[in-house]
C-alpha cells in the first residue's frame, strides 16, 4: 500500500487547507448571492486553528454550550448565536455575555432568563419544531412528533411573547435545498402567522452546500424568495458542510487476524472512540484505494478498531492487493463530527491533529498524551 502523507505519522487527523478554502468560497458565494448570513456550527466543526481562514468567509459561529460560546469569542472574534436545549442557572449569565443571539427551547426558559438577555443586549429567539424533516435516522431527526427540540405549533397559536426577535428551526442532516424547500412549506404552514412579527429566522444546520451535487442556484432562489416575502434576516448554520471532504484520518495496520470468514486488519485507531458516527448513524466511511463491493481478483478484509468493544469494526472492504502489517489506511472525509465527538475510551491513543497548509507544508498542531487521558478522569 502507498504511504499517503509520508511525513505525517499515524494516527493523525489531517486537514488540507486548500480543500477547506474551496468549501468556504462556495458557502460565501451562496451567502452573498442570497443576501443571507452563513455561520459555522461549532458542534460539527471546531478546529479552531483554522478559524483565521474561516472567519474570512463566514459571518460568525453558532454555539450549543458555554464552552462553545467561549470558543467562538476567543477564536472567531465574535459573539455566538447560541442555542441549547436547556440553560443552567449557574451558566446563563456568562452565556449571555458571550452571545449576540440566544435561542430558547421552551417558553419556561424564555420567561426565566429573558431579563438576563435584555441586560446584555442579546437578541432573543425561540426554537420551533417545523413539523417536517426528510431525516430518516431517528437519532438525527429533530422534528419527530415527540421531539424534545423545538416548541410545537400548538404552543404558539396565540402569537409570540413580547421580547422575541427571532424564530429558529433545525430540520436537516446533510440534506440538499429541495429538502429545505419541503421543510419551509411545513414551517410556513405552521408558523407563517408569526414570521411578520420577528426580525430574523434561523434555518439551522444540515445544509450540505459543499456537496458536489448540491444545487446552489436553487438554494439561492429559495432563500431570496423567503427573505423578500417576509422582510427578515435569514441565517444558516452549517457545520458538516464546512469540513466536508477537507481531510482524512491516517491510520496504520498493526495486526491481521484470521478468525472468521474474512481476515481482519486491526488499525491503530478506533471507530468507537475516533469516528463514533460510523457506529451511531451508522455509515461506512470510504477508504482510499479500497472498494465497498467485491470485484474480480480482490482481497477482502474487515477493518477493526483498537478498542476492546466487540463492535469496533467495519464489515469487509476490498483491496487490489493484500494488506500487510505497517500498511497505511486512509479513512476519507474525517474533519466533521469526528474531533468534536472523539473520546479517550479504553485509553486508546487519540490521533494527533495536523494541518497541510496551502504551501504544502505540514504542521502538527496538537498531540495527545497520557495526561490528556488521566486528567479527564479525576
d(CA 365, CA 12): 11
Q: Are residues 147 and 210 in the same domain?
A: yes
Structural domain includes residue 5: no
Choose the final residue of a domain: 210, 243, 276. Answer: 243
**What is the domain extent for residue 316?**
247-334+342-375
Q: Are residues 176 and 36 in the same domain?
A: yes
**Domain count along the chain:** 2
DSSP β-ladder status, 200-202 and 61-63: unpaired
Cell of 164: 422575541
**Contact indicator for 203, 235 with CB cutoff of 8 Å:** yes
Structural domain includes residue 7: no
Q: What is the DSSP string of 158-219?
A: T-PPTT--EEE----SSB-HHHHHHHHHHHHHHHHHHHTT-SEEE--S-B-TTSTT--HHHH
* Tens of pLDDT, residues 44-84: 999 999 999 999 999 999 999 999 999 999 999 999 999 99
pLDDT of residue 295: 84
Q: Are residues 269 and 362 in the same domain?
A: yes
Structural domain includes residue 285: yes
Q: Are residues 48 and 113 in the same domain?
A: yes
Give the residue-averaged pLDDT of 282-293. 94
Q: Are residues 170 and 22 in the same domain?
A: yes
Choose the final residue of a domain: 243, 263, 297. Answer: 243
d(CA 335, CA 321): 28
Average pLDDT for the chain: 97
In this structure, the chain runs to a length of: 378
Assign residue 359 the CATH number of its domain: 2.40.37.10
Q: Is the pLDDT assigned to residue 1 strictly greater than 80? A: no
Q: Give the single-character DSSP code of 151.
A: B
Share of the chain above pLDDT 90, in %: 96
pTM (2 d.p.): 0.96
d(CA 236, CA 31): 9
* Tens of pLDDT, residues 178-237: 999 999 999 999 999 999 999 999 999 999 999 999 999 999 999 999 999 999 999 999
Q: Are residues 270 and 226 in the same domain?
A: no
**Contact indicator for 277, 350 with CB cutoff of 8 Å:** no
Choose the final residue of a domain: 183, 213, 243. Answer: 243
User: Residue 66 phi/psi, 5° resolution?
Assistant: -60, -40
* Tens of pLDDT, residues 329-343: 999 999 999 999 999
pLDDT band at residue 2 under the 50/70/90 scheme? confident
pLDDT of residue 268: 98
Q: Are residues 90 and 102 in the same domain?
A: yes
Q: Are residues 226 and 307 in the same domain?
A: no
**Contact indicator for 170, 137 with CB cutoff of 8 Å:** no
**Contact indicator for 265, 329 with CB cutoff of 8 Å:** yes
- Beta-bridge partners for 236: 38
Assign residue 195 the CATH number of its domain: 3.20.20.10
Residue ranges of E strands in the chain: 12-16, 37-38, 40-41, 61-63, 80-83, 99-104, 123-127, 166-168, 200-202, 233-236, 247-257, 264-267, 290-291, 299-304, 313-319, 328-331, 352-356, 362-366
Structural domain includes residue 6: no
Burial 262-287 (b: 16+ CB within 10 A, else e): ebbbbbbbbbbbbbbbbbeeeeebbb
Q: Are residues 141 and 26 in the same domain?
A: yes
Amino acid at each position: 500500500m502507498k504511504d499517503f502523507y509520508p511525513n505525517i505519522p499515524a494516527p493523525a487527523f489531517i486537514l488540507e487547507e486548500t480543500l477547506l478554502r474551496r468549501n468556504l468560497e462556495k458557502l460565501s458565494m451562496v451567502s452573498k448571492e442570497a443576501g443571507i448570513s452563513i455561520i459555522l456550527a461549532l458542534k460539527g466543526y471546531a478546529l479552531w486553528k483554522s478559524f483565521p481562514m474561516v472567519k474570512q468567509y463566514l459571518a460568525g459561529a453558532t454555539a450549543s454550550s458555554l464552552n462553545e460560546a467561549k470558543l467562538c469569542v476567543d477564536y472567531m472574534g465574535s459573539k455566538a448565536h447560541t442555542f441549547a436545549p436547556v440553560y443552567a442557572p449557574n451558566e446563563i449569565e456568562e452565556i449571555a455575555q458571550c452571545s449576540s443571539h440566544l435561542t430558547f427551547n421552551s417558553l419556561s426558559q424564555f420567561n426565566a432568563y429573558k431579563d438576563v438577555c435584555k441586560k446584555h443586549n442579546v437578541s432573543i429567539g425561540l426554537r420551533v419544531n417545523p413539523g417536517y424533516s426528510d431525516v430518516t435516522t431517528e437519532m438525527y431527526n429533530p422534528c419527530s412528533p415527540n421531539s424534545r427540540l423545538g416548541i410545537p405549533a400548538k404552543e404558539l397559536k396565540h402569537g409570540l411573547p413580547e421580547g422575541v426577535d427571532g424564530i429558529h428551526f433545525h430540520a436537516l442532516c446533510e440534506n440538499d435545498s429541495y429538502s429545505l424547500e419541503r421543510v419551509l412549506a411545513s414551517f410556513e404552514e405552521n408558523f407563517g402567522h408569526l414570521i411578520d412579527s420577528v426580525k430574523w429566522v434561523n434555518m439551522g444546520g444540515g445544509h450540505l452546500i459543499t456537496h458536489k451535487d448540491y444545487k446552489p442556484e436553487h438554494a439561492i432562489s429559495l432563500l431570496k424568495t423567503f427573505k423578500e416575502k417576509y422582510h427578515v434576516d435569514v441565517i444558516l448554520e452549517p457545520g458538516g458542510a464546512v469540513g466536508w471532504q477537507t481531510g482524512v484520518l491516517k491510520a496504520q495496520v498493526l495486526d491481521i487476524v484470521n478468525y472468521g470468514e474474512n481476515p481482519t486488519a486491526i488499525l491503530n485507531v478506533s471507530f468507537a472512540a475516533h469516528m463514533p458516527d460510523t457506529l451511531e448513524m451508522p455509515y461506512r466511511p470510504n477508504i482510499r484505494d479500497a472498494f465497498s463491493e467485491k470485484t474480480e481478483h480482490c482481497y477482502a478484509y474487515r477493518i477493526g478498531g483498537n478498542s476492546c468493544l466487540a463492535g469496533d469494526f467495519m464489515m469487509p472492504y476490498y483491496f487490489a492487493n493484500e494488506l500487510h502489517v505497517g500498511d497505511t489506511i486512509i479513512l476519507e472525509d474525517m474533519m466533521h463530527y469526528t474531533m468534536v465527538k472523539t473520546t479517550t475510551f479504553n485509553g486508546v491513543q487519540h490521533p494527533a491533529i495536523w494541518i497541510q497548509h496551502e504551501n504544502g507544508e505540514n504542521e502538527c498542531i496538537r498531540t495527545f498524551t497520557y495526561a490528556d487521558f488521566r486528567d479527564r478522569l479525576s
